Amino acid sequence: MPADVLRMWVYEVSDHFDDHAAAMRRLMPQLARAMADGSLDGIGWGAHGLSRVNWRSWPAEQAAAVEAFVHAWWQDQLTAPEPPYPMEDVFETCASVARTVTPFLDGWVPGPVADGHLAHCVDDWLYDLLSDSDPFRWWYDDSRDAGVARLRTWLTQQAAPRLRACGQPDLAIRAELLALPYDERWAHPYWATASATN
């Protein structure tokens, strides 16, 4: 099907189709290719169709294929020096489709390219997280709050040391501030001397 039609259908609201899950299953082969080759215009612009269906209830082989693809796509994008989509949008797409952040955070292994993506994502996410807001725009189901909480913990405990080690001390400190209550976070002495805010 034409790429613009694929894009339109992938981002349609679930009540557009009589059977949204069946539509997503039918689109999956072409959708996976488009996501992998970078030709699916719209990653990060709307809720991904796979995040709107309970694909884990599909036949075991189909559900396993979706799971394997999402994890493989994440790893591929994570190791690409110039991925076709913003990494924070790739992460949100993977997390909203899988309804968890855990395997994607666990799979974010250290390395020059992955650490560069980490710094970029953390810089983007901290704007919201430091204000106790949610950095995800297109993750709607009830797994979202748990995902945000897990992300905050991971940033504080795992990402901060990595950011410091790769020469990003401001980002590391701001990530560590997420462990503090809101008022203490903003009263922290860091803000008086932070190079990023001067």
Query: For the segment 68-79, what is each residue's pLDDT rounded down to a tens digit?
Result: 999 999 999 999
Query: Whole-model pTM?
Result: 0.91
Please give the average per-residue pLDDT across 125-133, as a whole number: 96
Q: CA-to-CA distance for 122 and 168, rounded, in angstroms?
A: 10
Residue 191 has pLDDT above 80, yes or no: yes
Long-range CB contacts (within 8 A, 24+) of 170-179 = 170/194, 170/195, 170/196, 171/119, 171/122, 171/123, 171/126, 171/196, 174/122, 174/126, 174/130, 175/122, 175/126, 177/130, 178/126, 178/129, 178/130, 178/152
Residue 196 has pLDDT above 70, yes or no: no
Please give the average per-residue pLDDT across 10-22, as a whole number: 78
Residue 15 has pLDDT above 50, yes or no: yes
Other CB atoms within 10 A of residue 151 CB? 25
Q: CA-to-CA distance for 129 and 110, rounded, in angstroms?
A: 23
Q: For residue 194, what pLDDT is reported? A: 63
Residue 87 has pLDDT above 90, yes or no: yes
Q: Which of 39, 9, 35 is nearest to 24 (CA)?
A: 9
For the ranges 17-21, 49-53, 192-196, the lowest mean pLDDT is seen at: 192-196
Residue 63 has pLDDT above 50, yes or no: yes
Q: For residue 197, what pLDDT is reported? A: 46
Q: CA-to-CA distance for 69 and 75, rounded, in angstroms?
A: 10
